[in-house]
């Protein structure tokens, strides 16, 4: 049995509170990483079509099923619907449009070698031009948008629950206003919202709002995503950034000291901030969580600047 505690969705299904992310995990390495993670006790794997490595993740899952280490129901697998579609299949001539979504989901399932996903998220609210590149650009280098409304996409995803292709459906990178629109139009309520969340962007207001409407949160980039591809020299490094060190000095207490106090590494301490989660063998004291909350500086590491100007861009005109 894995030691990872579970969080219950509004539909009664459960998600392990702590998972393995697969973004930037290279196809040549991710199979081994997922196999190792399962052996260690991870029971939640976060995938996405856009990560380009779902086939390799599927290989690892299949190996662990074959070896009898886990059964399908023992592991929670998430994937995400991408904003556009890359595959040169002429039948799939639109994406984020109802008739295309199922084809894309089925491709993800095939790659992951699964019959169903535990959670399928709309990766971003803004759709891009269908067909062609995953980040379609015009001659000026601007991202090409699609006018599909995420409400219409959501209505298609809801059907997949009834069809048995997914157990739960959720959102990623949606703001409060967009979630309210989904809730007004939904038959199936979103179970989960996956958002960037770490001490520099603690997302208190959005998390509090989600609590009031019964939507659980998955925090992404909890360590500050130091290897994000667009990071420029001099940009904040959560685990080492000068601002963090200055704050630590101001409070005469270094993050490292917290880690020592709990006999954990700084990275392990940071992970525990998101949900006040009481996992494994320690729990941060409320005053330490309050202390770490003071690091918030609205520092968004995944701002998706490539689609600024899109009418559904989640971060451009809304405060949270």
Ligand X SMILES: NC(=O)c1ccc[n+]([C@@H]2O[C@H](COP(=O)([O-])OP(=O)(O)OC[C@H]3O[C@@H](n4cnc5c(N)ncnc54)[C@H](OP(=O)(O)O)[C@@H]3O)[C@@H](O)[C@H]2O)c1
| Residues tagged active-site | 51
Is residue 23 close enough to count as binding ligand X by CB under 6 A? yes
How far is 52 from 104, CA to CA, in rounded Å? 13
> Which residue is closest to ligand X by CB?
21
List strand residue ranges (DSSP E) for the chain, in order. 6-8, 14-16, 20-21, 44-46, 76-81, 117-122, 166-172, 192-196, 216-220
Query: Between residues 95 and 174, which has the closer beta carbon with respect to ligand X?
Result: 174
Minimum Å gap between C-beta 278 and ligand X is: 20
Contact 146, 312 (CB under 8 A): no
Query: Between residues 209 and 315, which has the closer beta carbon with respect to ligand X?
Result: 315
Binding flags for ligand X, 253-272, as an x/- string (CB under 6 A): ------------x-x-----
Question: Which residues lie closer than 8 Å to 67 by C-beta, 6 or more apart?
Answer: none
| Per-position DSSP letters for 182-197, written without gaps between them | HHHH-SSPP-EEEEE-
Contact 97, 130 (CB under 8 A): yes
Site for ligand X in 133-162 (CB under 6 A): none
Is residue 178 close enough to count as binding ligand X by CB under 6 A? no
Contact 168, 191 (CB under 8 A): yes
Considering only CA atoms, give the Rg of the chain: 20
**Polymer length of the chain:** 320
* Residue selected from 16, 125, 190, 224 as contacting ligand X according to rule CB under 6 A: 224
Is residue 305 close enough to count as binding ligand X by CB under 6 A? no
Binding flags for ligand X, 30-59, as an x/- string (CB under 6 A): ----------------x-------------
Give the burial string for 132-166 (b: 16+ CB within 10 Å, else e).
beebbeeeeeebebbebbbeebbbbbbbbbeeebb
Is residue 172 close enough to count as binding ligand X by CB under 6 A? yes
Query: Between residues 162 and 207, which has the closer beta carbon with respect to ligand X?
Result: 207
Is residue 213 close enough to count as binding ligand X by CB under 6 A? no
Q: How many residues bind ligand X (CB under 6 A)?
A: 22
Query: Between residues 22 and 168, which has the closer beta carbon with respect to ligand X?
Result: 22
**Positions at the binding site for substrate:** 123
Contact 182, 150 (CB under 8 A): yes
* Residue matched to tokens 């525990």: 272
Is residue 223 close enough to count as binding ligand X by CB under 6 A? yes
Is residue 221 close enough to count as binding ligand X by CB under 6 A? yes
Minimum Å gap between C-beta 304 and ligand X is: 8
Query: Between residues 145 and 220, which has the closer beta carbon with respect to ligand X?
Result: 220
* Residue selected from 73, 227, 281, 287 as contacting ligand X according to rule CB under 6 A: 227
Give the binding site for ligand X (CB under 6 A): 21-24, 46, 123, 172-173, 194, 220-228, 239, 265, 267, 302
């Amino acid at each position: 049995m894995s030691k990872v505690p579970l969080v219950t969705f509004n539909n009664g299904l459960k998600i392990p509170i702590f998972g393995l992310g697969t973004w930037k995990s290279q196809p040549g390495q991710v199979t081994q990483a997922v196999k190792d993670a399962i052996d260690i006790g991870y029971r939640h794997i976060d995938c996405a079509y856009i990560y380009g490595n779902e086939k390799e993740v599927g290989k690892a899952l299949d190996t662990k099923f074959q070896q009898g280490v886990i059964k399908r129901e023992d592991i929670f697998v998430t994937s995400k619907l991408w904003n556009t579609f890359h595959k040169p299949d002429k039948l799939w001539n639109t994406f984020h449009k109802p008739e295309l979504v199922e084809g894309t989901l089925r491709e993800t399932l095939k790659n992951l070698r699964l019959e169903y996903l535990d959670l399928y998220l709309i990766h971003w609210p803004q759709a891009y031009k269908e067909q062609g590149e995953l980040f379609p650009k015009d001659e000026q280098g601007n991202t090409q948008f699609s006018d599909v409304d995420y409400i219409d996409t959501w209505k298609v995803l809801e059907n997949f629950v009834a069809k048995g292709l997914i157990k739960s459906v959720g959102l990623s990178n949606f703001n409060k206003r967009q979630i309210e629109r989904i809730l007004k139009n939904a038959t199936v309520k979103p179970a989960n919202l996956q958002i960037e969340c770490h001490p520099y962007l603690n997302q208190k207001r959005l998390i509090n709002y989600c609590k009031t409407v019964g939507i659980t949160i998955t925090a992404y980039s909890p360590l500050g995503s130091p290897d994000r591809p667009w990071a420029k020299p001099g940009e904040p490094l959560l685990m080492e950034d000068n601002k963090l060190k200055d704050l630590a000095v101001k409070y005469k207490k270094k993050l490292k000291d917290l880690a020592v106090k709990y006999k954990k590494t700084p990275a392990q301490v940071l992970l525990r901030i998101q949900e006040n989660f009481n996992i494994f063998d320690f729990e941060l004291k409320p005053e330490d969580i309050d202390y770490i909350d003071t690091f918030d500086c609205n520092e968004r590491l995944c701002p998706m600047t490539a689609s600024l100007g899109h009418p559904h861009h989640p971060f451009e005109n809304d405060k949270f």
